[in-house]
Structure 1
């Protein structure tokens, strides 16, 4: 069992300035927390995509912007949430870009990797939450 696991969910938080290099910091942070989990690579990819989206498409990428990452781990689910600084007219949503488009596939990819994705809007920004369900087999550790 992972050293941080218990019967209750554990929750971590990280706030990053809205600089592009902070995406790799959020990815490493996620990888370190989930070391040994079979879902670590998927979680890392999800965090990378959602962090980049926050920086590229919201006020998080402006000079004083930031984004917040929350990671919750239980024996049943890994929950990853990215909250941005908002200031866009529409909430994040998966799109179907044409074949030649160079952007617009990220949230669709997150929706494919995660078992569930929820987008919440508030006056302070948007929170995109992705859940990865841990599928334990009898006799195996979930972590």
Structure 2
């Protein structure tokens, strides 16, 4: 295989930090993954991560934005959302009471994904959730 050839395909989308852009991000993800059995989980993860970016970071301030990437290979679908920063702390999974109205989004993402990674960037944070096509590849899967 040529060194610049990859079996993974990567798409990117930048969205203004408006709440209605979350539905556009979901549709865009659904269109990319239309034939994948992982489409529903990926769409829900994109919704949660995009909403968190808008609600908890400068992405939701004027003229903020968030950036979405979807990488697809035969083995994994990875969705990443990068925010514009401005939050006092990095995103983290919180184990909230089941009646809590807030703070459960990343917990849900970690339950759906096999792996969730948070990276600091120059401007903010990138949260990446990986969904494995074959659950035997590793990680955990909550059904």
Q: Output the TM-score relative to the length of structure 1.
A: 0.88
> Could you tell me how far apart the structure 2 residues matched to 1:62 and 1:114 are?
28
> Could you tell me how far apart the structure 1 residues matched to 2:52 and 2:122 are?
18
Q: How does 1:1-143 map to 2 (within 5 A)?
A: 8-135=7-134
> Could you tell me how far apart the structure 1 residues matched to 2:50 and 2:72 are?
19
Cα deviation code 1:73-118 (max 9, x no counterpart): 0001001000000111110001122344210100000000000000
Runs of 5+ in structure 2 lacking a partner? 136-143
RMSD, aligned α-carbons = 1.5
Structure-2 change in CA distance of 1:113 and 1:99 (3 Å): closer
SS class of match (1:98)? coil
Runs (4+) off by over 4 Å: none
Count residues in correspondence: 131
Runs of 5+ in structure 1 lacking a partner? 1-5, 137-143
